[in-house]
Structure 1
């Protein structure tokens, strides 16, 4: 989460890159702590409402939370999304994240590993992930501007089970030292997918993957994508805070939310009237604050849900024990929500009636999504 820089154009040395990493971590943490921060901030998940069926519940003991993601089965349908790495402080946080993932059986993606390709000391900061969690499911992380050889190197560094390949054109645009050439990203993604020895998950960093973007990814062989929508950690704000003039504030709110992207892509079901090519498996992240947000994303068709900011806040408040407690509570509460909603497994959440309101409803109307069909799909 705290640094998603692709690094293709970088010419700065290890120290400036480490300083940027710590800047990203500090500024991201500030968005998720204190009054009005991410844990309480409104986003478009609040425009979604389950229709309550008072007699439709099932026994919580019968609920199966297992998630099918590509060729894998994850025990829990939410996971620790990429955050940080490459500095002393981020190594400490990655160690705590890895321990919590090990203790709770959660899948974990690491932060951008580009810095590890040029800095041996930074590479050791990522290696702790596999050392602390030898049997867990780990995703390496690199930017779309890097080569297939670079992608293979970061996978090898942590013996990753999969590669999270992030796209971050908005962040790069605002980043003082960012790239301004995105013309080769899609062909680069295609090459990495073609040559990778592990499955590739293409992820936006917080501005959303549109219907058109998902179709393009499918065309080049991407089978798993994380829509990574607006509403969580705001990399536009982070990069603008690093600019002396703070002159990109006019872009605030750019992009689409995870909920909007899921609806736009038609993964909520054929009844919504959307027919478009897309990767076979769609993940969702961006602004997930609690188990109810997880359930809403699953109900809109996500196979699993990535969480970063709330988990980072727990680490900063109380270390790996605090995060483990949060994860275990979320697992129990999500199971209870499924029981309440009559879903014996997470796939059954796609049959739950969901009301779409407010700005999100307007998005559906403009994009040709039949939101009203979601309100009566249980019938």
Structure 2
């Protein structure tokens, strides 16, 4: 199967497979504040994540590209929606375009449709520094995501098996890049140990990409003759990954993975994330209902964020981080046990 065919296969399976029955964002309850003192119309949701100035804490996270006309159409429509709503957008892995120039247009369409927006380039952790720079230049990108997806590669029939040089390559990319470098998981979450290693490499941005959204173990297992299905529930849920990150105060944390709506995004911010990404939930709206409905959905998420700001009496997105919340269930059990380690 070619790389472009695999991209289409991923989209099909990602849209069709079942999510986890339990979403760990339901283990988080924000403490309600009754005495509202703000003017809803005066609220704005601009936010700063390190060097990145964003008009919203929400951005379209990495999904696709490199799959010919179908993925070009998806990226075109996502970019139009991002432009109309003023949110950032990450593309899927550009490795296919770096290996096959014919696929470049499936990514370049994003900058064409959104010339003034915040765009994140994306490469795998196997990329060299030169390839990473080419990916950024391809999109005139404002930042670069380096995705790490060890389990996905191991389950993928044609995936990588040698990761012995990955840390060195990540460090080399960080040293040579003149835009922020974000190391991103793809659905398995990041532990505090992982973030510590990345911080020691000089990485100051992470996207925890936790369990709860698109499950690439299930996606890749659907493509295997004999599935490695025992790993379908492997990984750290997103809320837990965000909490695990709090020991590293010099690292800017982005939450993604299983965020269903604006309130989940607010919970990610309250737990300590500075922004949140959504992918599968937005792609599903686009594919099933069209671009106009997707724009309406993004605007609805922005309303949800502002309603939460009113209910928590905060005027800036950064203030979510200091608001009280209560943990329940498996999330509380995890945090309680990890405190003793």
Q: Deviations over 1:96-140 (max 9, x none)?
A: 001001111110000011000121221111110111111111001
Question: Which of residues 149, 152, 155 in structure 2 aligns to 1:174?
Answer: 155
Residue matched to 2:12: 26
Residue matched to 2:314: 343
Question: Which of residues 69, 85, 90 in structure 2 aligns to 1:109?
Answer: 90
Residue matched to 2:104: 123
Q: Deviations over 1:267-326 (max 9, x none)?
A: xxxxxxxxx346531111000001110000000110000000110011102222121111
Task: Look up the SS of the partner of 1:163 in the other structure.
Answer: strand
Question: Which of residues 244, 262, 270 in structure 1 aligns to 2:242?
Answer: 262
* Aligned Cα root-mean-square deviation (Å): 1.6
Residue matched to 2:298: 327
- TM-score calculated relative to the size of structure 1: 0.87
Question: Which of residues 289, 292, 306 in structure 2 aligns to 1:318?
Answer: 289
Residue matched to 2:50: 70
Alpha-carbon offset, residue 53 of structure 1: 2.3
Q: Deviations over 1:234-261 (max 9, x none)?
A: 0111111110122x11112111011101
Q: Deviations over 1:161-210 (max 9, x none)?
A: 11111000111111111112222111110000001122111100110111
Distance in 2 separating the partners of 1:243 and 1:143: 22
Distance in 2 separating the partners of 1:321 and 1:351: 35
Question: Which of residues 133, 155, 165 in structure 2 aligns to 1:184?
Answer: 165
Residue matched to 1:159: 140
Q: Deviations over 1:19-39 (max 9, x none)?
A: 1111101111113xxxxx55x
CA contact (8 A) 2:245 2:253 kept: no
Structure 1 unmatched ranges of 5 or more: 1-14, 32-36, 267-275, 371-379
Alpha-carbon offset, residue 56 of structure 1: 4.7
Alpha-carbon offset, residue 369 of structure 1: 7.6
Question: Which of residues 299, 302, 305 in structure 1 aligns to 2:270?
Answer: 299
Residue matched to 1:95: 76
Check 1:136–1:41 CA distance in 2 against 1; reply closer, same or farther (3 A cut): farther
CA contact (8 A) 1:98 1:108 kept: yes
Segment of structure 1 superposing worse, 60-69 or 133-142: 60-69
CA contact (8 A) 2:152 2:217 kept: yes
Figure out how many residues of one structure are paired with residues of the other and give that number. 340
Alpha-carbon offset, residue 329 of structure 1: 1.0
Distance in 2 separating the partners of 1:230 and 1:277: 21
Distance in 2 separating the partners of 1:86 and 1:176: 19
CA contact (8 A) 1:217 1:279 kept: no
Q: Deviations over 1:26-84 (max 9, x none)?
A: 111113xxxxx55x953110100112222255332232311111112211111000000
CA contact (8 A) 1:57 1:343 kept: no
Structure 2 unmatched ranges of 5 or more: none
Check 1:134–1:313 CA distance in 2 against 1; reply closer, same or farther (3 A cut): same
Matched, 1:204 2:185: yes
- TM-score calculated relative to the size of structure 2: 0.96
CA contact (8 A) 1:215 1:278 kept: no
Segment of structure 1 superposing worse, 42-51 or 92-101: 42-51
Task: Look up the SS of the partner of 2:297 in the other structure.
Answer: helix
